[in-house]
A and B are shown apart, each in its own frame.
Chain A
Amino acid sequence: MTENLLSPLRDVDIRPTRVDLGKAVRVGRRRRRVRQVAIAGLAAAVVLATAVAVNAVTGQPRSMPADRTPVPLPTSTIAPPLGDCTSAPADAPYLSRDPWVVLDDTWRVAVHLDAPGTAPVEAVRYVDGRVERIPGVPSRLQVALVNRAGDFAGIHSKVERGWVYRDGRFTELKLPGGATHLSLTDINEAGDILGSVDTGNAGGYEGVVWPGGHPDRPRLIKAPDGKLARGAGIAWDGSVVGMVIGQGTSTPYLWHPDGTGEPLPVPAELGQNLEVSNLTGDWAVGPHVRWNIRTRHADVINDIDTWSVVDMYGRVFGTAGKDAVVWINGTIEPLPAGDVKFVRNDGRQLLGQNSSGTWIRWSCG
């Protein structure tokens, strides 16, 4: 019986909760104050930016230049040391929206939704510290992804529809024929969106790419032997890294921009079922493994826990037990104190909160 499978997890003694409502109220008050200050500042900015707002309403391109050039990537596969880290208070207004704010890999752009008072929902986009309020947000949109060009995408809360905001307008992501639901996974600098859709296939969701600027042209990712393809990350050139799933196996896989693909190497000691969890630059990681998608080389990562983040130099951030650590060229190093929540793509900036809930930015190297 199903209950037998999971029932041991039910029968546990749970100690009394230590959740502190007083702390929630104190932190909540502080967040509200930050938001009110931000809104007051925004009000003045909105008056000055009427022309920009008109552009948004009429669907014309916004004033922000969309930089869709690839992030320069290091040529060496040897990661530089992270160096010493120093901390300072972080006061970006969008931090008060955690965990509903999304940041691009480079932290140039942040987006969250806002509905002050009874006003309609607007998207708030921060680009290099400049704030834009974007009206016309589709009903029940939940923002999931943003890239450094400022394109952002999200799905309806019932996951039956998705939209992308690009060049000043929201456009619906067309579902492939027969698909009924979708989820979004990653977006690259060009605006190519990686997601997955429920096509009714018994095996589950299938990977799909909406090319940048063409949300009406979804392309299902093809897997060999009738198996399912599922993407974990999309590189600047449209290469997709993910898994081929079927017959009880999960094989790491790399799809090239032309749609062809090849399996990624699997270190013998890790067995045949491997997941790929995310991609930054040329580096992909999964539980206990890192790949370079250009050289196809795989490294086993010991002493670091399953869910981890990799930076563009191939440094892997994760946990060892309850300690946060970074894996650099095969060596584990401890990270500074704090409650880290975001890692920039170059690994040199970390954002998190200290024990009193204050947002801290760590700068390393």
Chain B
Amino acid sequence: MRENLEREYVEYFQPRLPQLHRLAVMLCGDADRADDIVQAAVTMLYTRWRRVREADNLDAYVRRSVVNAFLSERRRSWSRVVLTETLPDRPAVTGQPVDERLEIRAALKKLPPKQQAVLALRFLCDLPVDEVAEIVGCSPGTVKSQTSDGLAKLRKQLGALAPAGGATS
């Protein structure tokens, strides 16, 4: 890649890394994994930067790449885990009260990956239905049905954690 393209690439991404990282954290719930997801996405985008930079909506394209990296990771189930030569020590179980966030994140992780992405983009990143549809590559109607279906599953799993009366999307 020519030097000016590389400079343009860095100048584009450097200020956007925090928001891309936040997007990935909202998707996967883990800052370390989020780093891996964004690292994979920006590396891929480097190899295609000459064409990617011509996209009509570059920011949306980049967000979609991050979501694709997340979905790709989930498809491979247990990938992106950096292993060590020896097993690390594990903390003993201490009987700490369960963090509500862990409960919700665990429930979210039980949903199909694309449904997780839809809910995270809608309610954690506050993106409108049409934009979510473009990012995950489906129709707005599908986003709505996936949202409804996903929320219903979440409410069921969370049980008492969900507020009485529930809600619609």
> Which A positions have Cβ atoms within 8 angstroms of B?
1-10, 12, 14-21, 23-25, 27-29, 31-32, 35, 96, 99-100, 142, 157-160, 180-181, 183, 198, 202-204, 248, 275, 277-278, 287, 305-309, 317-319, 321-324, 334-342, 352, 355
With A9-B105, A323-B88, A340-B83: A309-B149 Cβ-Cβ less than 8 Å: no
Q: A9-B29, A309-B77, A322-B88 are in contact. List 19 more A-B contacts (CB 8 A).
A: A2-B169, A3-B123, A5-B155, A7-B123, A9-B108, A12-B25, A21-B17, A28-B1, A28-B47, A29-B46, A100-B44, A157-B137, A160-B139, A198-B142, A198-B145, A307-B78, A308-B78, A335-B83, A339-B79
- Tell yes or no: B40 within 8 A of A by CB: yes
Q: How far in angstroms is the closest Cβ of chain B from A315? A: 13
Interface residues of B in 11-55 (CB under 8 A from A): 13-14, 17-18, 20-22, 25-26, 29, 31, 34-35, 38-40, 42-44, 46-47
B146's closest neighbor in chain A, by CB?
A204
Looking at the complex, which one of A1, A7, A21, A337 makes contact with B85 (CB distance below 8 Å)? A337
Task: Report the separation of the CA atoms of residues A308 and B110 in the bound assembly, to the nearest whole angstrom.
Answer: 13
Q: Interface range on chain B: under 10, 10 to 19, 20 to 34, or 35 or more? A: 35 or more
Q: Which residues of A contact B13 (CB under 8 A)?
A: 21, 24
Q: Which residues of A contact B88 (CB under 8 A)?
A: 321-323
Q: How far in angstroms is the closest Cβ of chain A from B17? A: 5
| B163 and A4 contact, CB distance less than 8 A | yes
Q: Which residues of A contact B163 (CB under 8 A)?
A: 1, 4-5
Q: Which residues of A contact B18 (CB under 8 A)?
A: 16-17
| A324 and B77 contact, CB distance less than 8 A | no
| B83 and A6 contact, CB distance less than 8 A | no
A17's closest neighbor in chain B, by CB?
B21
Looking at the complex, which one of B69, B90, B101 makes contact with A12 (CB distance below 8 Å)? B101
| A318 and B137 contact, CB distance less than 8 A | no
- Tell yes or no: B59 within 8 A of A by CB: no
- Tell yes or no: B87 within 8 A of A by CB: yes
Looking at the complex, which one of A9, A18, A305, A321 makes contact with B104 (CB distance below 8 Å)? A9
Task: Report the separation of the CA atoms of residues A275 and B77 in the bound assembly, to the nearest whole angstrom.
Answer: 14
Task: Report the separation of the CA atoms of residues A140 and B141 in the bound assembly, to the nearest whole angstrom.
Answer: 20
Q: Which residues of A contact B58 (CB under 8 A)?
A: none
> Which B positions have Cβ atoms within 8 angstroms of A?
1, 6, 9-10, 13-14, 17-18, 20-22, 25-26, 29, 31, 34-35, 38-40, 42-44, 46-47, 68-69, 72-74, 76-85, 87-88, 90, 100-101, 104-105, 108-110, 114, 119, 123-124, 137-139, 141-142, 145-146, 149, 151, 154-156, 158, 162-163, 167-169
Q: Which residues of A contact B84 (CB under 8 A)?
A: 323, 337
B150's closest neighbor in chain A, by CB?
A204
- A selection of 12 A-B contacts at a CB cut-off of 8 Å is A5-B158, A5-B162, A14-B25, A19-B20, A21-B10, A28-B44, A28-B47, A198-B142, A287-B110, A306-B109, A323-B81, A341-B80
Per DSSP, chain B at the interface is helix
Q: Which residues of B contact A180 (CB under 8 A)?
A: 139, 141
| A324 and B139 contact, CB distance less than 8 A | no
B156's closest neighbor in chain A, by CB?
A248
| A323 and B83 contact, CB distance less than 8 A | yes
Task: Report the separation of the CA atoms of residues A113 and B108 in the bound assembly, to the nearest whole angstrom.
Answer: 32
Q: Which residues of A contact B100 (CB under 8 A)?
A: 8
Task: Report the separation of the CA atoms of residues A32 and B46 in the bound assembly, to the nearest whole angstrom.
Answer: 9
Q: How far in angstroms is the closest Cβ of chain B from A23? A: 7
A230's closest neighbor in chain B, by CB?
B112
Task: Report the separation of the CA atoms of residues A275 and B107 in the bound assembly, to the nearest whole angstrom.
Answer: 13
Task: Report the separation of the CA atoms of residues A32 and B47 in the bound assembly, to the nearest whole angstrom.
Answer: 6
